[in-house]
Structure 1
Amino acid sequence: MRNPIHKRLEKFESWQSLGFMASLCERMLPNFRLFCQMTEQLELANTYQNILNLVWEYLTVKGAKINFDNQLEKLETIIPDVNNYDFYGVVPALDACESLSELLHALIAGEYIERSIKISLNSLHTVIGYLETQQDKELSEAELKGTDEIQQELDVQWAIYRALNECDERDTELLISLKNTLRNEGVSNIGVEIMPEM
């Protein structure tokens, strides 16, 4: 499914791309946290949260030095294997981990545009997978575009994009506001609600 936002993302500065990616990972965190609750592995959700917190710190604290190779190693230990679970919740949990992995790879390799487009698509595919699982069939692009869930996902991505696009230079207050808004809402891209963990 094509998203017109992707052409716009190509014009972002690196800090804007990272802010966009971190925001989408923040929205996917409740999916991973729910999976961790269901499988009684809450410490894994805390690891995800800590890694994401360090990304926000890097974006908002001047001179913050963080070893993202080390964080990627930590992330790789908590990525669920879908073959080990027989319930749907593992899929959006895996998507959340894959998105955070893309974000860390962007920081390590400096590949901001490609990785932000991948995370945008990944978040959209989580919603598509959720709808197709609910309806137990493959949905056409026209059917998908007619759903409230897809419209909401696109609207949120555009809202994050617009907020970042309005700034000519790195705006720490805006980044903190984006993080806090998404975290306090505590609602994922597929409507999972989890109380925020600070």
Structure 2
Amino acid sequence: MIRLPFKKLSAWQQTAFCAALIERMLPNYAMFSQATDFGDVALLRNQLNLVWQRLDKNQKVKINYDVQLEKLEEQVPNPELFEFFGVFPALDTCMAVHALLQYLQTNDEECIEQVSRLSANSVSAYIELMLLEEMADEDDAVITEKDIAADPLMIWEKEMQNAVFDLLQESPENVKTIKELKSMVLEQGLSNLGLEIH
């Protein structure tokens, strides 16, 4: 799994790291929401926008975390109610937004690791599903962690998390860095699962 030395980042950098990862996860929630008529992706989008605005030190943005976490709670899908793989990355997205809001409220660095892990877990579960479908005819098919780690999608996820981390470490805490970060994670027009962003 991905292990980055988050302690080397400032609170601003840690927040931006999470926001960048969630940008790549949000389209997975949007796709799930569209397919099932569940949840309000605009609410999650708005919460992420609030975090980006808060990172712009020229804007005085106050976030009522209790209210936002309550609103988010209503958008969390229950995997038992959906016979559709998309519920899992959608759930991961909600949990990542929850962890980020919680971090801003409590400064608990555990939350940063959680966002990193949730993004990687979405990718790992998706790869496993794809590989299982490919091996459907093989009775004794076993998927190892090595298989998942070697998949181009997982390699891309690791590279992207490392690139986001490096960019933040080397850049000043300002709006220009936020713009660079956003364009870096969105330039390919794909979510972390390789799904097209509409």
TM-score by length of 2: 0.88
Q: Which residue of structure 2 aligns with residue 125 of structure 1?
A: 121
Aligned equivalents of 1:120 and 1:89: distance in 2?
Answer: 19
Tell me which amino acid in the other structure corresponds to 1:177.
E
* Partner SS, residue 180 of structure 2: helix
Which of 173, 178, 192 in structure 2 is aligned with 1:170? 173
How big is each residue's C-alpha offset from its partner over 1:90-123, in whole Å with a ceiling of 9 and x where there is no partner? 1110011111110010011111x32111111111
How has the CA–CA distance of structure 1 residues 159 and 138 changed in structure 2, closer, same or farther, with 3 Å as cutoff? Answer: farther
Which of 137, 141, 146 in structure 1 is aligned with 2:150? 146
What are the ranges of 5 or more consecutive residues in structure 1 without an aligned counterpart?
A: none
Answer yes or no: is the 8 Å Cα contact 1:124–1:150 preserved in 2.
Answer: yes
Aligned equivalents of 2:118 and 2:63: distance in 1?
Answer: 25
Give the root-mean-square deviation of aligned CA atoms: 1.7
1:176 deviates by 2.9
1:74 deviates by 0.9
Matches within 5 A, 1:35-54: 35-41=32-38, 44-54=40-50
Q: How many percent of aligned residue pairs carry the same amino acid?
A: 34
From the CA coordinates, give the structure whose radius of gyration is larger. Answer: 2
1:61 deviates by 4.3
Answer yes or no: is the 8 Å Cα contact 1:132–1:139 preserved in 2.
Answer: yes
What are the ranges of 5 or more consecutive residues in structure 2 without an aligned counterpart?
A: 133-140
Answer yes or no: is the 8 Å Cα contact 1:132–1:138 preserved in 2.
Answer: no
Q: Which residue of structure 1 aligns with residue 137 of structure 2?
A: none
Aligned equivalents of 2:142 and 2:67: distance in 1?
Answer: 39
